Structure 1
Amino acid sequence: MVEEELGWEVAGWKIAAMKEPLQRQLRTDSPIYGRVFASGIVESPGNVEHARQCSPIPEVEYQARLGADLPPRGKPYTTEEVTEAIVSLHPGIELAECRFVHDAAFPPLTAVLADGAGSGTIVYGPAIADWQRRDIAGQEVFLTCNGTLRRKGTAREFLDHPMVPVTWLANELSRTGIGMKAGQMISTGTLTGMLRPKPGETFVADFGPFGTVEARYL
């Protein structure tokens, strides 16, 4: 309904709460997803105005771009099929937002879902070469703020592997008759948890040999 009301192009998807700790924070018992609109997908370095953000949350995430459609169908998609459909995998930062007024806890799940699961802006870096044969799950990533380390984590810890949430999303969107289209970007879920930024802060996500991504709150 929000997509129809806005009339904006859906250019990607975001996934959140793949595992229990984040599910508890978001008051859900399963992963959730939201639409990402074309204006919210930018190459690194990305800039946003802090004053125009609603409860902003920077999160380090792998970004997967589809090279083939994954339409609705009766048979579930396998991880192998979904991996084959991914044309590139990128280091990234999702600049999530929560647009509902709330206290220390997040708003009720219905509000989170209406808000696109906190969908905001995706900032992505260059494609990771030969990513299918590299240790994506085990690579430790670091999030620094103005040069100070704030968070670190791995896909193995938070997601098992980025293709696990993408496969879940492919099957969820198949079940609901929506599907995914070639060219869409999927933000696969946070590797560093959630934190609140301040104006003037620059965040850098360091994926080691996979590259870095930068986002600034002006």
Structure 2
Amino acid sequence: MGVLIEKIANELIDAENHQYSVAPLTERFSELTVSDAYQIQLEVIGKKLETGDEIIGKKVGLTSKAMQQMLGVDEPDYGHLLDTMKIEDEATVKIAEFISPKVEAEIGFILEQDLVGPNVNYLDVLMATKYVVPTIEIIDSRISDWKIKLVDTVADNGSSARVVVGKKLSTIEGLDLRTQGMVLHKNNELEATGSGTAALGHPAQAVAWLANKLHEFGITLKAGELILPGALSGAIAVKEGDTILADFGSLGTVSVAFE
């Protein structure tokens, strides 16, 4: 299995680097388990670290019941965020860097303390949080036509691509992140709305799930890391010429344009 894991990791890296998609892993390698898929993801990240990339955080995906039902799973998944994936607020990115991009708005957590599983709860997360920040995650799939099952997206680093980080940093005192609203505009037109409850009922609950899940792999969430707890609405497809603005009310806004 080790040889196959490295082979798939190399394939996914090449697909990302050269903007082409590959046939679903689950159609070609039926023997792959979710555990194997996480090992593929870790192999991909390990190879990127060897070439100079640095881990700046993690992301949680599949936090909504609708997405879990669509993929036939009963828990979220996760991926890694690298320094090469971070984009500044109001930046313009080239659509040619992606295969089939979509965007999601999320309340990002910047940690002040490490979070070590396996018994982390959402209160632990809130106590360990330095700031929350508005973010847009640009997701992309190296799997053709988004024909993904859990194994496919886990191996593909949670279908992650970039993260746009807003300028406003907010402390959590007095905030109810569960009811925190978000309005997403594409080209100045309302595209989606959502609230913090979309992420496992509370964004901090999604971060707690992640800390506990990572314990299985001997990984901890580190102080200073950016954690994305899951989208507050469905993913929105983007193309050349689109501008995306996510407004989180008192938490601020974040935007990105595609050329």
When normalised by structure 2's length, the TM-score is 0.77
Residue pair 1:138, 1:155 contacting (<8 A) in 2 also: yes
Paired position in structure 2 for 1:3? 45
Q: 1:41 to 1:26 in 2, by over 3 A?
A: farther
Paired position in structure 2 for 1:150? 191
Residue pair 2:136, 2:163 contacting (<8 A) in 1 also: yes
Residue pair 1:88, 1:127 contacting (<8 A) in 2 also: no
Match for residue 38 of structure 1 among 70, 73, 83? 83
- What do the CA deviations read for 1:74-119 (whole angstroms, capped 9, x no partner)? x5122222211111101111111111113xx532322211111111
Measured in 1, the distance between the counterparts of 2:152 and 2:217 equals 20
- What do the CA deviations read for 1:123-150 (whole angstroms, capped 9, x no partner)? 1213443423123221221110110011
Q: Superposed, which structure 2 residues align to 1:178-197 within 5 Å?
A: 178-197=219-238
Of structures 1 and 2, the one scoring higher in RCO (CA 8 A, sep 6+) is 1
Return 5+ residue gaps in structure 1 as ranges: none
The letter for the 1-side match of 2:110 is: R
Measured in 2, the distance between the counterparts of 1:126 and 1:59 equals 17
User: 1:14: Cα distance to partner?
Assistant: 0.8
Measured in 2, the distance between the counterparts of 1:182 and 1:33 equals 18
Residue pair 1:26, 1:106 contacting (<8 A) in 2 also: no
SS in 2 for 1:6: helix
SS in 2 for 1:169: helix
Q: 1:39 to 1:50 in 2, by over 3 A?
A: same
Whether 1:101 aligns to 2:147 is no
- Structure 1 segments, 4+ long, off by >6 Å, are none
Residue pair 2:179, 2:195 contacting (<8 A) in 1 also: yes
SS in 1 for 2:144: coil
User: 1:175: Cα distance to partner?
Assistant: 2.6
Measured in 1, the distance between the counterparts of 2:178 and 2:184 equals 17
RMSD of the alignment, in Å? 1.7
Structure having the higher Rg = 2
Paired position in structure 1 for 2:251? 210
Match for residue 53 of structure 1 among 90, 98, 102? 98
Residue pair 1:91, 1:210 contacting (<8 A) in 2 also: yes
Residue pair 2:121, 2:205 contacting (<8 A) in 1 also: no
Whether 1:170 aligns to 2:170 is no
Tell me the percent identity: 31
- What do the CA deviations read for 1:165-201 (whole angstroms, capped 9, x no partner)? 0010011112321111111101111012112111010
- What do the CA deviations read for 1:31-75 (whole angstroms, capped 9, x no partner)? 000011111123312332111112111001001011122245xx5
Match for residue 82 of structure 1 among 119, 125, 130? 125
When normalised by structure 1's length, the TM-score is 0.91
Return 5+ residue gaps in structure 2 as ranges: 1-42
Measured in 1, the distance between the counterparts of 2:170 and 2:237 equals 32
The letter for the 1-side match of 2:210 is: L
Residue pair 1:91, 1:124 contacting (<8 A) in 2 also: yes
Measured in 1, the distance between the counterparts of 2:121 and 2:227 equals 17
User: Aligned residue pairs: how many?
Assistant: 214
The letter for the 1-side match of 2:119 is: P
The letter for the 2-side match of 1:42 is: I
